[in-house]
Amino acid sequence: MANTSRPGSGSPFSGRRAAAVTLLFLLVFLALWILAFTLATSFMIALGVGVAVATVSAGSDVVGALVDGFFAVCLAILTPIGAILALIAGLFSV
């Protein structure tokens, strides 16, 4: 019998989770850089957080669901902001 599942659908670390971890890395990096540390220190801490979250989310369904939920909330916030900016740019023909 042939395998009817989609290619890559069984991967524990999907593209959606990779995008969520990248977004989390950027948010942690910017927050640390603006509020507390130098560029290099903030980058190393945020990279460590990103690698830890990526590793744990690949092995744990609960953490994977939390990462997916975080990404869904971020998209729900960023999508209207992008639409508003596109509307403003369209009004001024930028």
What range defines the domain where residue 21 resides? 15-91
Within a domain: 22: yes
Tens of pLDDT along 10-28? 565 677 788 888 888 888 8
Within a domain: 69: yes
Can you give the pTM of this predicted structure? 0.64
**CA–CA distance, 55 with 42 (Å, rounded to integer):** 20
Q: What local confidence, expressed as pLDDT, does residue 49 receive?
A: 87
Within a domain: 6: no
Are 80 and 88 within 8 A, CB to CB? no
Tens of pLDDT along 25-78? 888 899 888 888 888 888 898 888 888 888 888 888 888 888 888 888 888 888
- Looking at the structure of the chain, the number of domains it has is 1
pLDDT at 79 over 60: yes
Helix axes 39-59, 15-35, angle to 10 degrees: 150
Are 20 and 67 within 8 A, CB to CB? yes
**How far lies 13's CA from each of 17, 47, 59, 80, in Å?**
6, 17, 9, 27
